[in-house]
Structure 1
């Protein structure tokens, strides 16, 4: 089967790596999507294991159309009763980018009507629409006059992992969190810290990775479980073979801290739904009071962007973060995600790397600050010495 995994801007290469490790073939990179080829086992495994996918689609029809009338005519050719029963609920979602339509939601309504008309004509009964929790979810993608209709095998987006019991005011999307961890280059063998952890999403995603546990181990349902050809035995085999206990030999720390005691309580509640044991240490603490564990590691933080803080207070926060990195985080790579580029300047450190990502609808930078021991000159001189190979004696 040709499959399509949807993701976020900037996460395509990470998703390709994940799919390669799952055994996908003929992988092709697109804009916010990755296409690949696999069987039913891979379709199910993709939903369980992919950390940076939003949903996994199975295309069922692809065509060109002339206008609105022709779009309906093309939809009417699809035998929708091959994909759902008349007593099942359904919904239509997707993306439309075409000058042919004044309202991007109109093609979704046309597809909804075509599905309802198909069942009315064939069974004299229309299936019900459920926008909140549909059993069958159709996805439509239109680019000018090219249309693809797909079955969404995931149903609810895959960032709805099933473990989140409570959140703070602006929780980061789980897919974004996992993508940031991958982009940071964390080796899953060294210390990991988040000093603005909120309800714990970034440390939780890090702990799942470090323990080799699927991101959706706590999730209860997927849309593919309502499909005609759902193989329950195959799904149970895939799920039962997935690791569901924490590793006992983690010789590094995963720490999440925040000044808000209420959100730390929510973070501790969230991990109760996961088989992580005591992998994560959640602490109520000012980041200036954080003592980093010995050895090297990664820090990732998602500070406020300015929606609820005045500029002066926000700039002070970022300045304090920069000073904290310099004083307390030597030997670590410190990463910050933010959409506030003026606030970034107050960190007063030169970023070693900048990556554009999106957090929701906000275009953000994900910036890396290398905090090394000693002076910059000593650091660069040490790197040059490591790269310089000794001359070898040519005599055998």
Structure 2
């Protein structure tokens, strides 16, 4: 009798668990369709990217959080965002028009300086986009063996679903820009994100390394990637050509100004070029931790930030980077210059405004 009672009880528990699972499945909403929740703690939650939008600052981070500040980072308001995907980067080519990217292949656009956002693209569309683009090229050029390979890559993305993140975004103006991500994922738009063109065939990246960052130095456009990958836009060839460097570890960012470029990454490695990327000289950072963010400050000096909270400063013509003392920062993921010349960094503990020493 006892065993029968136990069997019935176990059966009821199994049925209850099944019903709960069905209810949970019925209530599931994809993060690509779930708007980011307003939270008073959003400014202290992990933030990854930050950018200037005219006088305004805009920062992005986990769970679709986007915040904006009109007082150099002292106070922040949360923006309306149609997704809850983690966001990785943000860029404004002008005061009003901006783009943000992140996990699940999401691309967001704002036309009001970051106060509200609309989704332009997500990972559920990207695979089909690649298949359509490269199938048309394969039909037009049947002898070209690379097009079927690109079609197959698009089909794999369709099968795998929306799990490939974009890692960075850059726009030349309100119309033309790029989004880059894992496994050589790169798209270009020439109409402000209304349509996107796959650019996988326009990169010297045969091994499909991750594209971690894209940035302009004023006279050159670079893409920094893993395992020493560095690409530079070649306007005559209309592609991103490989640039040789003396370091084979991952790069996380590029910054600079006309005539000079810095690329930084793992284990404190920083390289400098003053000849358009033809040669690169290592700069001594004195550190062995990854450099994860950088900017050019109001004085024209370089500021670099690490995953351990260090701040480094270097003059444009200097061969060494100096670690600033008394900068007790959490790990930094992004940095930008506010309109008043102060610095704002974001990272694991949200946003923080810094004075320039």
Query: Shorter chain as normaliser: what TM range?
Result: under 0.3
Q: Tell me: higher relative CO, structure 1 or 2? Use CA pairs within 8 A at least 6 residues apart.
A: 1
Structure with larger Rg: 1
TM-score, normalised via structure 1 length: 0.25
TM-score w.r.t. structure 2 length? 0.27
